[in-house]
Amino acid sequence: MAFLRLHARVAQLNQIEVITQTEALYTLRVLTNNTDALVDEITTLASSNKSQFQHAPVILEIEHKNFQANELAVLIEILAQNEMVAVGIRSRKQELIDFAKFSGLAVFGKSLSPSSKSKIKTQAPQQPTPSAPNPHQDKIYQAPKIITNKVYSFQQVIAEDRDLVLLAKVKAGADVMSFGSISAYKEVQGSLFAGIQGDDKATIFVQSFNAELVSIAGVYKKFDVVPTKLYARSVMIDLSNGQLRFQII
């Protein structure tokens, strides 16, 4: 499909021209936060319509209420692997909007409704009560730190005041640490430390589990040999009654 370009010069500067233009943009409405399903469908779409979607600019329209910033990072990577280019998002979820701005993507449409804005302003000045059982319970982190390269043996990675997203393999002997949660979408052979300042609400997700050690808020488990039921499986880890809980996804 040939893109339509209509140019109209609106300003002349010394070294650049500012022009208006109209191009064919594709909008992908994302109806799920199931990254496996998104991989399958986007791969099928791109491979069956290669001439149409190769290097095509795409706006991601996301209204799924449970869609998170780390999943948006994965979705952008899925598009890139299929030679499609995410240029912006359209969403009413502030977490996704903040991540889009942090990543240099355009934001289309209104970020929040007026009612949502007023609600946030009302709640912002409130302070935690002295009886709050966990000072990290309502912690709001920045947009997650995203690591796209492999983390090699004896290398350390840390995400301060934010969650951490790993899009490549973590080799044995590597240490990966986060104040918040950790999401790893490739094999992990090294050590993962989430909630390193005591956030017991932090979680760890590993797409292919082969870790040497996992820790949440100082509660840890070391693996000399990874159990068969966990090895190379998708695993979600959190704290339940002060103990690490491993769930097969």
Strand, coil or helix: 172: coil
What's the CA gap between 29 and 27, in Å, rounded? 6
* CATH 3.30.70.260 domain locations along the chain: 8-114
What's the CA gap between 64 and 73, in Å, rounded? 15
User: Largest alpha-carbon pair distance within the chain?
Assistant: 66
Has residue 107 got a pLDDT over 90? no
Domain 8-114: which topology? Alpha-Beta Plaits (3.30.70)
Q: Tell me the range of 17-26, 70-79, 192-201 where mean pLDDT is highest.
A: 192-201
Could you tell me if 21 and 57 are in contact, meaning their C-beta atoms sit under 8 angstroms apart?
no
230 band by pLDDT with thresholds 50, 70 and 90? very high
What would the two tokens of residue 211 be?
Answer: 């870790």
What's the CA gap between 182 and 186, in Å, rounded? 12
19 band by pLDDT with thresholds 50, 70 and 90? low
Could you tell me if 112 and 94 are in contact, meaning their C-beta atoms sit under 8 angstroms apart?
yes
The secondary element (H helix, E strand) that includes residue 213 is: strand 213-216
* CATH 2.160.20.70 domain locations along the chain: 144-248
Q: What is the mean pLDDT of the chain?
A: 79
Domain 144-248: which topology? Pectate Lyase C-like (2.160.20)
Determine the pLDDT at residue 139. Answer: 56
pLDDT tens readout for residues 190-223? 999 999 989 999 999 999 999 999 999 999 999 9
**Dihedrals phi, psi of 248, to nearest 5 degrees:** -80, 125
pLDDT tens readout for residues 110-161? 533 333 333 333 344 444 444 445 554 455 557 788 999 999 998 999 998 8
Report in angstroms the alpha-carbon separations of 101 from 94, 104, 105, 144, 174.
11, 5, 6, 12, 30
Distance, C-alpha 80 to centroid of its chain: 15
